[in-house]
Amino acid sequence: MKNLHTLICFFFLSLQDGNTVGALTVFAGVEGGSVTVKCSFPSSGTRRFFCKGECEEKNVLIQTTGERRSEGRYQIRYKDEDISVTITQLTKSDSGLYMCGLGRSLSSASYKQVEVVVVDARLPENSAAIKRNPLLTRTGRSLTVKCYFNDRGTRKVFCKEQCEQEKDILVQTDVNSAQRGRYSIRYLRGTHGGSLYVTIAQLTESDTGWYTCGLNSSYLGFQIIVSKDLKLHVIVPVIIVTLLVSVGVTIYFRKMCKRKDKDKEGERQPDHCLETRGNSAKMEIAFHENQPPESIYQNLHPPTWDQNQIYSTI
């Protein structure tokens, strides 16, 4: 298929993240990056709110009575009856429904609902770079790629490899969403074109390879590499073995020194014998000082990995 290797280069159109599903506007951002949500209101108000889920007191992420305010990863701005909120350092947990509110209080405000989708990459934006540099991820995670097409279409398809054979098709549909096992696609129509979100859940090493998302006869390709998690259940046994070996070596030298004490009384003993004899407390401190810093093991624990990087180091 000749069109299979041709990437549609409409860069300026790919920057439009405000796709609409009915009355709901969807905004997409790349993990580790930022996204700006915009809400327009027909009237003004004294207080501006931004909440995740329903706008209850516990769900308010940021609010202000002024024109601009920053708090943590959130920045809210108000101008000409429009509220815009920027979320930085995006993680997958930021995906979901949000509410913009404008009014005197939470109970009397007017609200607009929006959706944020955090993806691992967007095509065709920076598509050439993604083609050269595969998306690196880990087993057990999910991966979502936004494929933007300048055309609108009915046939949506997600394949492994190049969609040339029936066996390559992971999931396809003529409606706006479909799921088949761990694979799913979701189509959102924009002002000038449409976005196809393709997702693989519960990644395994066998998912490594080339993938294609297609709308009608247009196709976009990307490559992913999935590596196995280095979890504590692997690290801890290694640490234990290292400790046992170290203790075994210490005991061995002590026995050797005692044997030499019996065989050659009065002779000068080797340096390692003098260091170990009668100084076990000092040895224990020195041993702990030679261990790698504790933070090395903490950084390898899955919850502390930097989830915000698109291209992680394996």
Give the count of beta carbons closer than 10 Å to the beta carbon of residue 94.
Answer: 18
Residues of the chain by 3-state class (helix, strand, coil), percent to 5: 25, 40, 35
Asked whether 268 and 275 are in contact (CB, 8 A), the reply is no
CATH topology agreement for domains 32-118 and 121-227:
yes
pLDDT bracket for residue 88 (50, 70, 90): very high
- Rounded to an integer, what distance in angstroms lies between the CA atom of residue 54 and that of residue 76? 18
- Write the CB contacts of 83 (distance below 8 Å, at least 6 apart in sequence): 38, 39, 41, 48, 50, 76, 77, 100, 102
Question: Quick one: pLDDT at residue 192?
Answer: 77
User: Could you confirm whether domain 32-118 is CATH 2.60.40.10?
Assistant: yes
Mean pLDDT computed over 155-176: 93
Question: Quick one: pLDDT at residue 288?
Answer: 37
What tokens does 139 get?
Answer: 């087993």
- Rounded to an integer, what distance in angstroms lies between the CA atom of residue 221 and that of residue 287? 52
Least confident of 36-40, 250-254, 268-272: 268-272
> Structural domain boundaries of the chain?
32-118, 121-227, 232-304
- Write the CB contacts of 27 (distance below 8 Å, at least 6 apart in sequence): 17, 18, 35, 36, 37, 38, 114, 115, 116, 117
Per residue in 180-233, pLDDT (tens digit) is 999 999 999 887 788 999 999 999 999 999 999 999 888 999 999 999 865 544
Sequence letter at residue 44: S
* 199, 302, 311, 36 alpha-carbon torsion, rounded to 10°: 70
Region 121-227: CATH code: 2.60.40.10
DSSP 153: -
Asked whether 156 and 166 are in contact (CB, 8 A), the reply is no
What tokens does 54 get?
Answer: 């329903």
- Rounded to an integer, what distance in angstroms lies between the CA atom of residue 26 and that of residue 190? 10
| DSSP conformation letters of 10-32 | -HHHHT---EEETTEEEEEEETT
- Rounded to an integer, what distance in angstroms lies between the CA atom of residue 181 and that of residue 237? 35
Per residue in 295-308, pLDDT (tens digit) is 322 333 333 333 33
- Rounded to an integer, what distance in angstroms lies between the CA atom of residue 248 and that of residue 243? 8
Q: Which residue has the higher pLDDT, 175 or 286?
A: 175
Sign of CA dihedral 74, 78, 81, 82: negative
DSSP 304: G
What tokens does 46 get?
Answer: 């004294």
What tokens does 187 get?
Answer: 């189509």
Question: Quick one: pLDDT at residue 206?
Answer: 95
Least confident of 16-20, 71-75, 301-305: 301-305
